[in-house]
Amino acid sequence: MEPIAKTYQPAEVEEKWYQRWQEQGFFQSKPNPRKPAYSVVIPPPNVTGVLHMGHMLNNTIQDVLVRRARMLGKEACWVPGTDHASIATEAKVVQMLKERGIAKTDLTREEFLKYAWEWKEKYGGIILEQLKKLGASCDWSRTRFTMEPDLTEAVLRVFVDLYQKGLIYRGVRMVNWDPQGLTAISDEEVVSKESQLKMFYLRYPVVGAEGEFLTVATSRPETIMADVAVCVNPHDERYQHLIGQQVQIPLLGRAIPVIADEYVTMDFGTGALKVTPAHDLNDYELGQKHNLPVIDILNDNGTLNEKAVLYVGQDRFAVRKQIAKDLDAAGLLVKVDEYQSILQTSERTGAVIEPRLSMQWFLKMAEMAGPALQVVEDDRVKLYPAKFKNTYRVWMENIRDWCISRQLWWGQRIPAFYLPDGSFVVALTAEEALEQAREQSGNSALQISDLRQDEDVLDTWFSSWLWPISVFDGFKDPDNADINYYYPTDDLVTAPEILFFWVARMIMAGLEYRHDVPFRNVYLTGIVRDDQGRKMSKQLGNSPDPLDLIAQYGADGVRTGMLFSSPAGNDLLFDIKLVEQGRNFTNKIWNAFRLTQGWEVNAELLFPNEKATEWFQAKLQDALAQLEDHFDKFRMSDSLMTVYKLVWDDFCSVYLEMVKPAYQQPIDPETLRRTTGFFEQLLKLLHPFMPFITEEIWHLLAERGPKDYVCVAPWPKQQAVAGSADILSNMDRALDIVAGVRNIRNQKGLGPNKPLTLAAKTDDTALLREYDAIIRKLSALTEINAVDAAPAASVGFVSGGVEFFVPLEGQIDLGAEKERLGKELEYTQGFRASVLQKLGNEKFVQNAKPELVEKERQKLADAEAKIAALEQSLAAL
């Protein structure tokens, strides 16, 4: 065997083992009736994406679950893939073309798509390759892409089916328009941001009443040219005389009516609302109710069109600044106030959303939402943490129709075909569309060239809501072996912000097309934030590059660092110290391995470590029971901490210290055999969290067969240990005695190996006899004696109700120690006196906050306890 490296070198280990796992086919999965299935589908990252801290957390958790399932003997299948991300990818391609001096408008759709596929093939798989660096054990042979032919066909089939069922319709509705992405987006793609906005108070001249004005407050003066009315509350006495009259739009001069509706709040702004149906959802509904016209003054890109008359061709925000100046100059601006409000922005581009009337395709949601809510209420789909069930319920009970069309070229093109007369048919292919069109129109002479396919594509989420079915080809062949074996999947790990974007919709699709839920458990991770609580982003410059972290600290160190403080549903305050702690843990494991490998064996030695090994076996079984409970409840941080404490505290810091032979002395074969067995069990428990170092040590620990990897080793089974509770309790008592002796060593500066004796004032010496060797070894004691009284010149402590004493005569300078203790006693007595004086002040006790008074009382109690201990130590000396 080659000599073991002094320090663990992750860079030399990680690529080697990942390649071997793949060569052995350990991650590949196929239906196996002899095993229970365990399947997970990856939340497909955008093809535009690169690995960020959120991906690191999400995929580490998935990998932990999948690796453990594999070790539990399940047929584990983790399906990877990417999402075509219509808006984000089209923006990337447009930018690429711009850099080449090409405008999208200069290209045909087919030409643009050639460039888009070129971009996708070059950059689309980067993030999946990066996930391999993290150790993700996906079945890469199953990698899917939401726009590959089979998945695209599934999307189109579902569109046609839902249209035929009357659930998809086309109509003019108010939508969220992204002027930068040049497309409609769904309500769930709108991000609300608190912002400091301005409220402009404008004078609308009353027609036929010289010098009279109606003052209207608006945050969007650039839209006044689209006003069609001013609305007041019918019970507002200020405006009773104006109802039915007309006012003029400032600057523009067009006359519009004053109408009345209880929708208007009398105590907000001026109580007079300008009605702009084309650019506000509530105004649109008000306009419908009062039969008002609609004037849309905005172009797709947020500039003003000819219908505005004024400021044509200028950007909406540039107009806002200019019109305020022009209104002021015309004496039509009363004042401008600042106020805190919510700004609606596009999740994809960050642009401020424009509510806009637009002809779009919609999916009715109410009918599908009912069953999807019920399966979560009944826990057929369990949300972790359960607090999200309420959030889910509120959303599902107030669901709106889903705008599923997008004004883009990259994506699945809507399979609707328009006839020359403007009517349309919906069909999977142009050939099917032609057949329907001929039948619908009665014109058998129609040709495919007479039909025009809809220009829009489907919302990206309309493909990813089918993901758990489509990745197993459940639409292509609804009865194939994969879908029957792996569906429903087991666990979904995702972020709370896409609970509705994706999770709810996948549940709807699963119930609609498989009559079953798509997964049984949904683990909702938190957001990774910096130590100041800010969401990590490249813009803020507070997000480290995950690959840089892996290069510096090793993948295992980063994985454990991410999991140390990531409770489900709660945000993770990332601190580089967590990753350093993860790296330190890998070093601790490596050093423990090196220690055990450095022991020489003497076959003639008897086995002296029965107590130590039975105790660690009980500890191991106790940890296994805790782990089972944590995993069952998806407490991932707690799972890791259970293993961490078992390895660092119990195995490395205690067990190995109990059993290791004296310096340069051999060890007995039975202790080494049991210790190696414990190490193998620990490597199995650690493997899901730290796959690389565990595989490396597994192969260095013993000769292994060609398929003998910890990656596929069986998960340790719980085994009852007779008398486990007593074993653990007795060892705890023994270790508490050790801690008492070590504390005295630290206090008196006696060093860890200076020989001492210990005296116990007790008649019950059973525990001391039983654990004599362990206590003496861990405390560096020469002997332990039972005594009737405290020995002279000794320092004591209490453990388990028994007084223990460490004689110090000859160990320290007693005179100097008495002097030191006397000074410390004098200082503490003075401190107590100052606290007593404070508490004796009635004004302080009566007026100070209760928590401050309680704090002072605690100080007093601590001081008195310390004085008693110091007096006892002085008396003993």
CB 503 within 8 A of CB 376: no
Q: Which of 209, 2, 59, 46 is nearest to 550 (CA)?
A: 59
d(CA 241, CA 270): 16
d(CA 448, CA 453): 10
Q: Which of 167, 172, 169 is nearest to 184 (CA)?
A: 172
Q: Which of 572, 527, 583, 528 is nearest to 550 (CA)?
A: 583
Residues 6 or more apart whose Cβ sits within 8 Å of residue 368: 167, 508, 511, 512
Q: Token pair of 42, please?
A: 């990856």
Q: Confirm whether residue 577 is marked as ligand binding.
A: no
Residues 6 or more apart whose Cβ sits within 8 Å of residue 19: none
Q: Token pair of 519, please?
A: 């997964």
SS3 182: coil
Alpha helices of 29-168 — where are they, by DSSP H?
Answer: 53-71, 86-99, 109-123, 126-134, 149-164
E strands, 470-621, where?
489-494, 519-524, 528-529, 572-573
Residues 6 or more apart whose Cβ sits within 8 Å of residue 771: 611, 730, 731, 733, 734
Q: Which of 254, 244, 246 is nearest to 224 (CA)?
A: 254
E strands, 210-353, where?
213-218, 229-232, 246-248, 255-260, 272-275, 333-346
Amino acid at 17: W
> Which residues make beta-bridge pairs with 248?
255
d(CA 533, CA 775): 46
d(CA 250, CA 332): 7
| Consecutive H or E run containing 874 | helix 850-876
> Which residues make beta-bridge pairs with 413?
457
Residues 6 or more apart whose Cβ sits within 8 Å of residue 142: 29, 77, 79, 80, 471
CB atoms within 10 A of CB 328: 14
Q: Token pair of 839, please?
A: 């508490």
CB 49 within 8 A of CB 127: yes
SS3 516: coil
CB atoms within 10 A of CB 487: 21
Q: Token pair of 24, please?
A: 């052995």
| Annotated binding-site ranges | 538
Annotated binding-site residues for ATP read 538
